[in-house]
Structure 1
């Protein structure tokens, strides 16, 4: 049974989810989501910019699992920031997913007219179209820039998080507001150095778990929602099998000591907004 974490708006989110980033919309996403649901995942994370919302929605519908048992996250892309564009963007996501509501909707990249987009998201939440709303890739600097424009405090900030990048400065800001961190790349995007860390190997032997399970359990015990991604069924199952053991406080401290204080992506770097905006057109096929 997957644990659930209570958000600051009273809603509950499964502590582990299945992410579909970079899974193509050629039937692969449909198959992956069907498999994830079959092995027990109840939290699916997609985005407008993943171009696979429609396959996610079709898999949810075809799974036969009641809608209220599945937690769905999607994310608004930069092109749709601003009040009116965001309203259209939310409606498009709902249509592509084939859903009456989305459980969690995020500002995907926090640049440009975030306040306008956030206002539209707050209204959609009041209307019941979005159950929870949040942000993604917000550093302390970005958070401080936009915080005053939030009438509703974000429930989640989805950021790069793994034992090498533990977001300690960000947590000092978000923890008092009960904003939950959600980890993209929770396994360090397969970083071989991370998997070879002596403490992780040692804990793996002690608990008879693989390195990935040790990492995900550490993150879970830190209160972080994790989104590991794999299209291999055996890996989907093992990534979810992290709730039958517990690291001691001493072991947690050893894992915390792995923090390098930065990740592979720095949203504060100059030029990131322009690079992302020109990366692709989410409306090319509209």
Structure 2
């Protein structure tokens, strides 16, 4: 049994608060990496069409022997497939590659406002959701203006907005907006994607205080703020380490030290 707590989405679905991301994992390596994550206790796997590893991810899920209803699977429609009919086709292709009958969460990967098709793309997600092939639907990298437009045009409130979020880009305004609208905030790049965040002296001090790694301290910060997180690693030891964060807690001084790391500098590029 997984020891990871869950959050309840606005449609009543339970989603693990800590999951495993497979961004930049080559398709050929994905089966072994996904199996290692599942063996370590992860029950949420996050992939995307644009990662080009849905097939390997699906093989890892199948080979794990864990019942399908115990694994929460997320994938995403890519920018080139925006539009109603093309999104439906892209979703069918993703299901086929994953070897699954349904996904637990289907997201629009980026709003791509220059194409101005994210509303009709979301309408396709609503159809997929109504047909039961995606238990929940949501978005990724959407800003207030994109969410406002969906609120006017859509029938289903996004269950999740997956955004870049880490101690140097904490996005308090976006998190407050999500909470107000019943949207779960999910953090991609929760550890800063190797850009020096884990070398922070402040984080190192917190980690030493609790006898933990810097990555564990950062992931614990996310959880205590209520974020859903999807750290990625291909190293079995790191994979196991990143999920071993449920037997300690940060105190008020620790949380204040993390708050002081805010730089409001995103590293991802809007699309």
Q: TM-score, normalised by structure 1?
A: 0.89
What is the aligned-residue RMSD (CA, Å)? 1.3
Note if contact 2:74-2:104 (Cα within 8 Å) is conserved in structure 1. yes
Shift of 1:96: 1.2
Note if contact 2:40-2:243 (Cα within 8 Å) is conserved in structure 1. no
* CA distances 1:109-158 after superposition (whole Å, capped 9, x unpaired): 11231111111111111111000101011123433344322211111111
- Corresponding residue of 1:222: 225
Q: Within 2, Cα distance between the matches of 1:23 and 1:256?
A: 31
Note if contact 1:33-1:59 (Cα within 8 Å) is conserved in structure 2. yes
- Corresponding residue of 1:151: 155
1:137 aligned onto 2:141? yes
1:117 aligned onto 2:121? yes
* CA distances 1:50-72 after superposition (whole Å, capped 9, x unpaired): 11111111111111100000010
Shift of 1:266: 4.3
**Runs of 4+ residues deviating >2 angstroms:** 139-147, 194-199
Q: Within 2, Cα distance between the matches of 1:24 and 1:195?
A: 24
1:221-240 correspondence to structure 2 within 5 Å: 221-240=224-243
- Corresponding residue of 1:19: 21
- Corresponding residue of 1:160: 164
- Corresponding residue of 1:45: 46
Query: Which of 202, 213, 216 is residue 216 of structure 2 equivalent to?
Result: 213
5+ residue gaps, structure 2, are none
5+ residue gaps, structure 1, are 273-286
Note if contact 1:16-1:240 (Cα within 8 Å) is conserved in structure 2. yes
- Corresponding residue of 1:275: none
Q: TM-score, normalised by structure 2?
A: 0.94
The aligned length equals 266
Note if contact 2:24-2:51 (Cα within 8 Å) is conserved in structure 1. yes
Q: Find the residue that maps to 2:168 and give its secondary structure.
A: coil
* CA distances 1:20-48 after superposition (whole Å, capped 9, x unpaired): 111111x2111111111111111111001
Q: Within 1, Cα distance between the matches of 2:253 and 2:207?
A: 15
1:244-263 correspondence to structure 2 within 5 Å: 244-263=247-266
**Structure 1 residues 142, 266: CA separation in 2 closer, same or farther (over 3 Å shift)?**
farther
Q: Within 1, Cα distance between the matches of 2:232 and 2:185?
A: 17
Q: Find the residue that maps to 1:236 and give its secondary structure.
A: helix
Note if contact 2:119-2:154 (Cα within 8 Å) is conserved in structure 1. yes
- Corresponding residue of 2:182: 178
